Structure 1
Amino acid sequence: MDSPGGIYLLLGSNLGDRLLVMQSARELIAEKVGAILAQSAIYETEPWGILDQPAFLNQVIEIETTLAPEEVLRHILDIEHELGRVRYVRWGARVIDIDLLFYRSIIQDTARLTLPHPRIQDRRFTLAPLVEIAPDLIHPLFGKTSLQLFEECTDDSEVAKIS
């Protein structure tokens, strides 16, 4: 069963004052997208994809919103831009990254948006904070909980809770 919110976002930052940027992202999300119902601790994580870059801070938050998935995406892209995100290289260093992981149990695959996020099951930096706030959340495609996905994840990158 979906929670009252059931919309999960992953925040990540590896440039600048990472904690301040993530705090600003949470504030803007609460103002422009929807109320934050839950938030994980912040984790410091090894880079994924391109390894020669600073470590990331990552956090998962659960929100509730009346916005449709595409509207949520548009707002989080606007927030990234407002906070100084520039897209140079896929998986490269960035001031802020906000990924829409789940929008309740919606399954969608369009040119603009894939739900659930297609690589959740492959990334410890996503699963560790997700498990903290939603261990029993069922992935609608795999029929497994986030805890099961974490336990089965083959990604061995370092993920350490810092706060």
Structure 2
Amino acid sequence: MPAGADLAAALDAAVVIALGGNDKGDWPDVAAGLEAALARLPGIGVNVLSRSGWWASAAWPDPADPPFLNGVVLAETAMGPEALMAALAGLETAMGRVRAARNAPRTLDLDLIAYGRLAGTFGDLVLPHPRAAERRFVMGPLAEIAPDWRHPVVGQTAAALATAATVGADARPIG
């Protein structure tokens, strides 16, 4: 990522994608599955500019489920937001995600958190992600790689949102 004013412009244009999972599926562990997903992003037209480490947290909303690993990437793509979300959903399916019950354990969860500075409804997609700002397992990893990223609606930085987040407050970096 560039520095100074160029960094601010790059952050304003970046696509923010959250990756998570709590079911290892066909991989040795959840982290291996997430790394495999990360490696497949370029194949669906997503150029990763920067990535966080993995963060662990209790499952939400049911902490009795297996714990989650989560991370975030800053990326660029030629796809529009709806096409990107469709490509991300296709990758989830290709990597073994089965949509059984809402919030059930899953091999891969890909969320489009922000698409540049866009704000609004795009088909079935709401940008920025309507609950991301309150989730430490999203804002913590984002603050790790882009603490000065500003939420397109609330205007706060990723660092401030990570500190204030109430959902997944136990999220912490691993490794």
| Structure 1 segments unaligned to the other structure (5+ residues) | none
Provide the C-alpha distance between the structure 1 equivalents of 2:18 and 2:168, rounded to a whole number of angstroms: 19
Note if contact 1:44-1:161 (Cα within 8 Å) is conserved in structure 2: yes
Residue 63 of structure 1 is aligned with which of 42, 65, 75? 75
Note if contact 1:46-1:157 (Cα within 8 Å) is conserved in structure 2: no
Q: What is aligned with 2:23?
A: 15
Note if contact 2:61-2:103 (Cα within 8 Å) is conserved in structure 1: yes
- TM-score normalised by L of structure 2: 0.87
Given the superposition, is the C-alpha separation of residues 156 and 86 from structure 1 closer, same or farther in structure 2, using an over 3 Å criterion?
closer
Given the superposition, is the C-alpha separation of residues 80 and 66 from structure 1 closer, same or farther in structure 2, using an over 3 Å criterion?
same
Which one-letter code corresponds to 1:6 in the other structure? A
Deviation at 1:42, TM superposition (A): 0.7
How do 1:100-115 and structure 2 match up within 5 A?
100-115=112-127
Q: What is aligned with 2:4?
A: none
Provide the C-alpha distance between the structure 1 equivalents of 2:79 and 2:122, rounded to a whole number of angstroms: 18
Given the superposition, is the C-alpha separation of residues 124 and 143 from structure 1 closer, same or farther in structure 2, using an over 3 Å criterion?
same
Deviation at 1:33, TM superposition (A): 2.4
Which one-letter code corresponds to 1:131 in the other structure? A
Provide the C-alpha distance between the structure 2 equivalents of 1:32 and 1:88, rounded to a whole number of angstroms: 24
| Structure 2 segments unaligned to the other structure (5+ residues) | 1-7
Deviation at 1:156, TM superposition (A): 5.7
- TM-score normalised by L of structure 1: 0.93
Residue 43 of structure 1 is aligned with which of 55, 68, 75? 55
Provide the C-alpha distance between the structure 2 equivalents of 1:156 and 1:45, rounded to a whole number of angstroms: 6
Which one-letter code corresponds to 1:66 in the other structure? A
Q: Which moved more, 1:27-36 or 1:75-84?
A: 27-36
Q: Secondary structure at the match of 1:58?
A: strand
Q: Which moved more, 1:139-148 or 1:76-85?
A: 139-148
Deviation at 1:91, TM superposition (A): 1.5
Deviation at 1:111, TM superposition (A): 4.7
Question: Is residue 2:9 matched to residue 1:2?
Answer: yes
Note if contact 1:10-1:59 (Cα within 8 Å) is conserved in structure 2: yes
Note if contact 1:128-1:159 (Cα within 8 Å) is conserved in structure 2: yes
Aligned length: 163
